[in-house]
Structure 1
Amino acid sequence: MRIEAEHARVLASTAFHRAGVAEEAAHTAADVLVITEMMGISTHGLNRVETYCTRIAAGGVDPHAMIDVQMPALALRRVDGRNGLGPVTAMRALDEGQAAARAAGVGAVFVKGATHIGALAPYLWRAAQSGFAAIITTVAAPMIAPPGGKDALIGNNPIGIGVPIEGRDPVLLDMALSVVARSRVRAARDAGTAIPADWALDVHGQPTTDPAEALKGVLQAIGGAKGANLALCLDLLAGGLSGATTLGKIADQHKTPSRTQGLGLMFLLIDMQALGDGAASNAALKDAVEQVEQSAPADPATPVRLPGARALSQMRLSERQGLEVPPPLLSKLEVLAGV
């Protein structure tokens, strides 16, 4: 069923408000999830409203959390989300990072006490709209084994990189360090379909095409040991430096919704104007992305596409045509919103 994005925002915001979240925070979280949905990232969009509300009811998310911010240095911020609604904490961290970058040219924000913040692309897009390049990462519940191991210990710790380019769309890279996100494995399980053998390992450390067995085992990291070690190092940065919960001690929001996660986040912001000689930088950026776009495609029917191009194209389409929301999901949103 197709609905306007604003209607989706009202439903999501009302659902969060009814769950006990303050009105302004409810609007913030709803906006992040609707932008995500508009970008076509449905695994992290409106379906997360029910997940977050369930965790609020179970006690895993504090709807009344008051975010604490400290400034140990001009370019640094420490944020404690106190296990409040993840997108609200993340947007506050983004705002603090931009403020630090305006003052010092660069801003680094280390967050503890966060909960699931959704996709990274909306935050990267917001930063780019304000003229900031950004690197964002978050720890996640364990789902990847360390090199040589078979037990889940490391999260698939997504990393996002956003680069604004004057006169054209920004480059937005948002990727987890597993071959696929666990949400895609859950979707395959719910749909009763098999998964590719390179997505996950079962509890015996063997490749599996059964999504149910994959969810009992571990996801495979991109690039094997290189991807697993990169995920580990991101955990050390986002989790360790922020003083957050790390690695195998992070609770799974789906298996144990009543447990707080205490996730760590890291936001690095660069004020593009502070670099000086913006015309030269922008010309170099435009030249680089045009080289990519003009490179010969392996399949003539599929042009080479920059990171984020599909999401931004889908967002513009959603602005014109609204959102295609499956009827069961819309019904859930209406129930949560009390409609």
Structure 2
Amino acid sequence: MSLPTRYDWKKLQDFCANVFSAAGVKKEVADVVADSLIQADLRGVESHGVVRTAIYLKRIEQDMIDPFAEVEIENESVATALVNGKNQFGSVVGTKALEVAIKKAKENGAALVGVKGSNHFGTGAYYALKAIEQEMILLVVSNASQTMPPTGGIRPFIGTNPLAVGVPAGKEEPFIMDMATSLVARGKIIVAAQKGESIPLGWAIDKGGNPTTDAEAALEGSVLPMGGPKGYAISMFIDILAGVLTGAGFGKYVNNMYENWEEPQNVGHFFIAIDIKKFIPIELFKQRMDQYICEIKAEPKAPNVEEIFIPGELEHRKVIEKKTNGIELPLKVVQELQKIGERYGLDITQAQITLNTEEVTNNG
């Protein structure tokens, strides 16, 4: 059996940034987009990683993303702002909005920043980690195109609208919650359909509103919200904050990046930043967080459980492992990136690394 092909994360990031630059994107924009993609892969969120390179490029080519747009603050007060992304890359828009939120939070203790005119902005953890570096608490949400029905409905109306929270700690790893509001990622259903496998009952419904274990029927229908009505309510509230309040699209007016080639996505986001130092000294907060985390991890464990984890801890360990051993990409993604590289005179094999058998064994 041949060893898996992996890619050095820094070289893979450089490859992606060079691809976007070769496509005419400014270097500072290309660097942010590539960073967002690689950080997702490092944390094990492959659905938001370099697999998105091709669709991002296609949307540039079809004038569905404006990589030259200047993100603007349209309306603001001392602690609030409305950012217009002007259809720039979502990760660039999100980064700008985060900078505004952190600046205002440092000045006023907290800040609320809404965003309209954006695109898919990657993982929420990408922004949570940046806020943690600034010793801030961050809550960030985004809406998305239709994939889930309202409870009692049978067709998609709201997105799997994600919610992320980041909280710094001291010696312990920070608390990072990053989740969609669906029971399961739609990408898992796509994989099951490709393999001809069934899916667990409760993941999705078919287009007639019937529970199904058929992955193909599920893709024609809808994924279901986590916790039934509770997940639906949370997703709807995110849509209100990120879409209705900001002037961005909401519900059926958030356009699908893979299907709509006539209009921009007009995705909305919402950032809430809190300056911890305006409440208690930062070192005291970190000590209290460490105590809290340690006491949780020391709780009695259920049978066959070796360790209790806090949100974000497993992803942090994946980052360490992948930075050491490389990012493994599916063959289909590798082939796609190879073709993209050839188009722009770039060679993805320059980022390739190979582990010997001993290294693979020692690193699990």
Which of 106, 109, 116 in structure 2 is aligned with 1:102? 106
How far has the Cα of 1:236 moved from its partner?
0.4
Which of 190, 193, 207 in structure 2 is aligned with 1:189? 193
1:304 maps to which residue?
A: 308
1:121-162: per-residue Cα shift (whole Å, max 9, x none)? 121112112211110000011112112221211111110011
Q: Please say if 1:34 is aligned against 2:38.
A: yes
Listed as ranges, the gaps of 5+ residues in structure 1 are none
CA distance in 2, matches of 1:20, 1:81: 19
- Could you say if the C-alpha distance between residues 29 and 162 of structure 1 is closer, same or farther in structure 2, counting changes exceeding 3 Å? same
- Could you say if the C-alpha distance between residues 62 and 30 of structure 1 is closer, same or farther in structure 2, counting changes exceeding 3 Å? same
How far has the Cα of 1:191 moved from its partner?
3.1
Q: Please say if 1:229 is aligned against 2:233.
A: yes
SS of match in other structure, 1:127: helix
From the CA coordinates, give the structure whose radius of gyration is larger. Answer: 2
CA distance in 2, matches of 1:299, 1:15: 49
- Report if the CA contact (8 A) 1:70-1:79 is conserved: yes
SS of match in other structure, 1:165: coil
Q: Please say if 1:243 is aligned against 2:243.
A: no
The TM-score normalised by the length of structure 1 is 0.95
- Could you say if the C-alpha distance between residues 140 and 27 of structure 1 is closer, same or farther in structure 2, counting changes exceeding 3 Å? same
- Could you say if the C-alpha distance between residues 210 and 259 of structure 1 is closer, same or farther in structure 2, counting changes exceeding 3 Å? farther
- Report if the CA contact (8 A) 2:146-2:252 is conserved: yes
1:64 maps to which residue?
A: 68
- Report if the CA contact (8 A) 1:33-1:44 is conserved: yes
Superposition pairs of residues 277-292 of structure 1, within 5 angstroms: 277-292=281-296
1:166-198: per-residue Cα shift (whole Å, max 9, x none)? 222111000111001222222222333222111
Which of 149, 153, 158 in structure 2 is aligned with 1:149? 153
Which of 31, 34, 43 in structure 1 is aligned with 2:47? 43
1:219-254: per-residue Cα shift (whole Å, max 9, x none)? 111111111011111110111111111101221112
Size of the aligned set, in residue pairs, is 339
SS of match in other structure, 1:137: strand
How far has the Cα of 1:283 moved from its partner?
3.0
- Could you say if the C-alpha distance between residues 38 and 16 of structure 1 is closer, same or farther in structure 2, counting changes exceeding 3 Å? same
SS of match in other structure, 2:146: coil
1:189-216: per-residue Cα shift (whole Å, max 9, x none)? 2333222111111111111122221121
Which of 157, 176, 179 in structure 2 is aligned with 1:175? 179
Listed as ranges, the gaps of 5+ residues in structure 2 are 347-364
- Report if the CA contact (8 A) 2:182-2:226 is conserved: yes
Give % identity: 28
CA distance in 2, matches of 1:19, 1:199: 39
Of residues 216-225 and 66-75 in structure 1, the stretch that sits farther from structure 2 once superposed is 66-75
How far has the Cα of 1:117 moved from its partner?
0.9
- Could you say if the C-alpha distance between residues 7 and 204 of structure 1 is closer, same or farther in structure 2, counting changes exceeding 3 Å? same
SS of match in other structure, 2:173: strand
CA distance in 1, matches of 2:190, 2:262: 20
2:128 maps to which residue?
A: 124
2:273 maps to which residue?
A: 269
CA distance in 1, matches of 2:315, 2:288: 24
- Report if the CA contact (8 A) 2:41-2:49 is conserved: yes
- Report if the CA contact (8 A) 2:29-2:67 is conserved: no
The TM-score normalised by the length of structure 2 is 0.89
Which of 215, 231, 235 in structure 1 is aligned with 2:219? 215
How far has the Cα of 1:324 moved from its partner?
1.6
